[in-house]
Structures are given as C-alpha cells and as structure tokens.
Structure 1
Amino acid sequence: MPRHARPTAVLVHGAFADASSFARVIPELTAAGMAVVAPAVPNRGLVDDAAYIASVVRAVDGPVILVGHSYGGAVITLAGVEDNVRALVYLAGYALEEGESLGRLQGGFPDSGLADALVRTPFPVPGSAEPGTDVSVAADRFPELFAADVEPALAAVLAVSQRPLAARAFSEPAPVAAWRTKPSWGLVASADRTINPDVERFGYRRAGMTTVEVDSSHLVMLSRPRAVAELILEAAQATGH
C-alpha cells in the first residue's frame, strides 16, 4: 500500500449514541480531503463489536485513521490491530490495557455521576432462554451528563434516540491493546460528566499518546467539531498521509 495514499477516517461512535454524533466533524474532514466511513456499532459486546469494526476497516482500500469516541475507544483498542490502520485517535475514550475491562479501568477512579443515571432493560437473545441487559441513560439526565454544552433542542433528541450498550460489554477484558503497536492521539474532554476525565488522562498517559485537552462535555464531536477534526488531521499528517 503506497504511503502517499489518502487516508480514510473510520469514525467509531460509543454507547448511548450513534454515528450521527459525528455529523459536525465529517464535513470538516471531507473539506480537508479525507474520505470518511462512520459505521453503526452494534453495541452488543466489546469483542463482537471490535470484530465488526475490524471488518469495516479491512473493507477500506487504503490506510485508515481509526477514531473512537467513549466506548468506541475500547472498540478501536481491539480493532486497531488491522494492518491498514495507521493511527488511533481517542475522543473522551477508554484506552484499555490488554486483559483490562471497562469496569476495571473505570473502577479505579471516582464515579462521574453517570452510574446513578443508568437504566437497565432486558432484551431477547436469539437461541437463549436468558435475556440480555441493555444499558442506557435516563432521558431526563442525558443532557446534563452527556451533552451539557450542546444545544438543548438537539440534546433532547439525542436523549430519546440512544443506542444502548449491552451490559456484558462492561466486563469483557480486552484481548489486545492496539496502541502498543500503533501511534495514538487522545482528546480529554475536561468538562466530561459521563467519563471521569482522569480515566481518559490515565489511559492516554499509560499509552504514551499525544494528548490534547478541550473544555467540552462528553459529546465533544458536536460541541467542538473543529478541535476534533484538527486532531484527526494531525494524526493523519504525522503518519505520513
């Protein structure tokens, strides 16, 4: 694969959101000449979700800058080992170590306020008599916790259109940590009330990432799209694309 090939940004959303959370970043990237793919993450489990995103990455003809927001950071930690991934970019995300789960990483820090706003709902699992458990954020708490600096009308829509995360994703250990072999960048949302910003800082520091801090809520892609796009473009440029 030629080093000069234009990269594609694969944008991986997190829990309680969908690919539309990148709606303000995508135009910034395409205007700068980057191709973009923003898939829908199943949010059914860390290993399964990463396998799906890895298949999306493999389908891209050329180098990939793999971007993960929030839980999507955990997903790219696994999927980022694909050969055509040139860089990882974490946005208010979980940078797991090999063998570490979301619950274990997060459990080492004070709660952000999200824990007491979570709603658990059973869902049917094909072929199993036992239901799974979906986790979402109480709609009336979503704007303050997730999107405090996003327009209230938009935050209200996001609150009732969440893509839940299966509870088992919180306890699955990461079988691999792609940041060990791929250059990585991390954005800390310093006003984050969904993930304790210190969780983000710790993971990024441990991985030796190039890190920036932005005064933003958890949904930094909607509140500060230019800063997000600039970090992705920096990663692309630094890796020779």
Structure 2
Amino acid sequence: MDLRGKTIIITGASSGIGAAAALLFSDAKANLVLGARRSAELEAIASRIRGQGGNVAILSGDVIDEGYADALVNLARSEFGALDGAFNNAGVVGDMCPVSKMPIDNWNKVIATNLTSAFLAAKAQIPAMVARGRGSIVFTSSFVGHSNGGMPGIAAYAASKAGLIGFVKSLASDHAADGVRVNALLPGGTITPSGGEGDPATLEFIARLHPMKRMADAREIAEAALFLLSDRSSFMTGSPMLVDGGISVRLV
C-alpha cells in the first residue's frame, strides 16, 4: 500500500498507535504532518523519520483547540502544498469509574478530547480536501463504541467512541460526492501507554477478553489505518472498521 506523494496529518503521533502509524506511513512514502501535546516525544519520532529519509513536519498542541486544528492543515499546505488525508487518532480513556461516581470534569475532558476534537479536525480538514476533489479521513474510535466487550467503568469513553461512529457516517454522507472518504477505525485492546502498557495485570485482563487471547501491537492497528488512507480502500466510506481480535463478537 503506497502513499507516495500524499500528505497525511496524524494526531496523537508521539506514542502508541499514532507513533506506529507515523513510522509506517513514512515507509509508505507519505509526507507527514505530526501533531501531539508532548513536543519532545514528537520530535523524537520526527527525528527517526528524517533519519530514514522521510519527509515530516511537526507541530505540538492540543486537539481540543480549534486554532490548532487549523494550524495543522495550514502546515500541511505550506510544507507540502496540499492535504490528502488525516488520521485523527488522539484520544484519552479518562478515569475508569461508574457514572454515579464520575466527576463532571472527567466526562467533559473525555468528550472534548475524543469527540469534539473530531468536529474541529473535520471542520479544518474537509475544505482542504474538497478543494482538491479527493481525500481520506480516518478517526480512531474503539470496539467499545460498537460493543462494550465486558469492560466496566468506561461510560465517558464508550459514549465518545460511539459518537465518533455516528459522526463519521454523517460526514461520509455529506462529502462522498466531493471525493472525500471518511471512515472509523475500531481497535480492540492495544499495547499502548493508555491501553495498559507496562501493567501486567491490566494487560492480562484485557487480553483474556479477546477470543485471540492477546492484545494488538500498535503497528497492527496502524496497518489498518494505512489501508483506509490508501487507494486500496477507494470504495469504502462511512464504515466502522473493526480491528479488534474478535472481542466485539465475544460471548459474555
């Protein structure tokens, strides 16, 4: 799957799935614009890509800032001339607790980071793609937006990820005739900092929920994102694509 000549924005690119995607998309010859809050980690990923001959620009910031969403698009245009795709991957799990004990600040943070940021990203990215008559946008949802899979205490996270699926379907309907495809990626448990990386008990619990009895490596999820951003998925739009090790069909 070749992204040669395409310029792709990746958010949440400093670690986990986003970092794996940055390295993979660079191997596929994409021009990359990487965004994340942690500037040092972001620069480290960019340095690896540059060291391998890749083309990359970076900008640190917060995805819940509308100005930041605009700035990433402007950077893509100024550095590489256009915007062809985006992997809007940044997100948070938030505090895991029952709704009756959940602080409103936690709810607001999760919804803003996972769902409102998608609105801001799309608002900035879609006009740039419509102007070219083509583009592909991928949002990272989760299997919990489709089927909880037996995980307690994640109401805010599940609501935000389910909301993303509905949002993607609406965007896809609005812009299919413009040549802009919009899809959702629904990973299962993935070995990342937010997915329990480094905590053996958490990893074992999550792995047991999957019929495959393991969690995904971040690169496995990045491979699916690459497919959705490539021309190999040219007739796909509005799809919630499960890459979840079978957890969504697990018998509880």
- Give the TM-score taking structure 2 as reference length: 0.42
- Give the TM-score taking structure 1 as reference length: 0.44
Higher relative contact order (CA 8 A, sep 6+): 1
